Amino acid sequence: MNVVLFGATGMVGRGALRECLLDEGVHRVLAVGRAPTGERHEKLREVVVPDVADLAAVEGELVGFDACLFCLGVTSAGMSEAEYTRLTVDLTLAVARTLLRLNPAMTFVFVSGTGADSSERGRVMWARVKGKAENALLGMGFRAVYVFRPAAIIPMHGITSRTRWIRVATTVLKPFFPMMKALLPNHVTTTEQLGRAMLKVAREGFAKPIIEARDIARL
């Protein structure tokens, strides 16, 4: 399986990249983003672009992929709905349209979040916007689209978040991670488990397109 990965410098994306490089069934990984990952591996190629929403100059690099793991995401804190929509919906769909045109048999895996609002009419802004992105992707015409909605994510193997408050929370809660995982196995996952689950679904499919935290645990 050949995988193109977006968001490989973030916490979730780094976990996905690690699992891609470790998985013997993944032959080629292309990481696309605005900054290099710093990783070196024989399977890995990186494309650095100034604007992820505009891939016209690198389309030749994007052909021949079986799956996309889309791990790009930003916190909605302090953002207007219009700006959060631009970064969560517009950017995602711009990438997806390009990939679909170049790889019509591709499986697209989108990392959303628990509580995303499929109705797009709820009171919580970020949930409405995530739901809008999910719905648009599910109707685009890929061979398959899977939406992951993780809840709490524990970073492993030296991975950290680029969001300050998440780094602080991770440091404070780190001693309690084993207990959290044991007591709430259907609500707490790790970057390792999430990466493996995304690859498993990209390779084998799943019974439903929206994958909640409890499904990630089973996967």
CATH number at residue 99: 3.40.50.720
pLDDT at 17 over 60: yes
Label residue 113 left, alpha or beta by phi (over 0 means left) and psi (-120 to 50 means alpha): beta
Query: Residue type at 173?
Result: L
Q: Tens of pLDDT along 174-189?
A: 565 566 666 666 678 8
Q: How many domains does the chain have?
A: 1
Sign (positive or negative) of CA dihedral 33, 4, 145, 95? positive
pLDDT at 166 over 60: no
Question: CA–CA distance from 209 to each of 107, 120, 148, 188, 219 (Å)?
Answer: 11, 17, 9, 20, 14
DSSP state of 90: I
Q: Give the DSSP H/E element, type plus range, for residue 28.
A: strand 28-33
pLDDT attached to residue 189 = 87
Mean pLDDT of 34-45: 95
SS3 content of the chain, % helix, strand, coil (to 5): 45, 20, 40
Query: Residue type at 46?
Result: E
Residue 113 binned pLDDT confidence (cut-offs 50, 70, 90): very high
pLDDT at 4 over 60: yes
Share of the chain above pLDDT 90, in %: 77
Residue 75 binned pLDDT confidence (cut-offs 50, 70, 90): confident
Q: How far apart are CA 94 and CA 119, in angstroms?
A: 22
Record the pTM.
Answer: 0.90
Q: How many other CB atoms are found less than 10 A from the CB of residue 72?
A: 23
pLDDT at 164 over 70: no
DSSP state of 157: T
Q: Could you tell me which residues are beta bridge partners of residue 29?
A: 3, 44
Picking from 22, 23, 37, the residue whose alpha carbon sits closest to that of residue 71 is 37
Q: Provide the domain limits for residue 74.
A: 2-218
Query: Residue type at 92?
Result: T
Q: How far apart are CA 142 and CA 158, in angstroms?
A: 34
Those residues with Cβ within 8 angstroms of residue 181's Cβ, 6 or more apart along the chain or in another chain: 154, 188, 190
Beta strands of the chain (E only): which ranges? 2-6, 28-33, 44-48, 67-70, 107-111, 144-149, 152-154, 188-190, 210-212
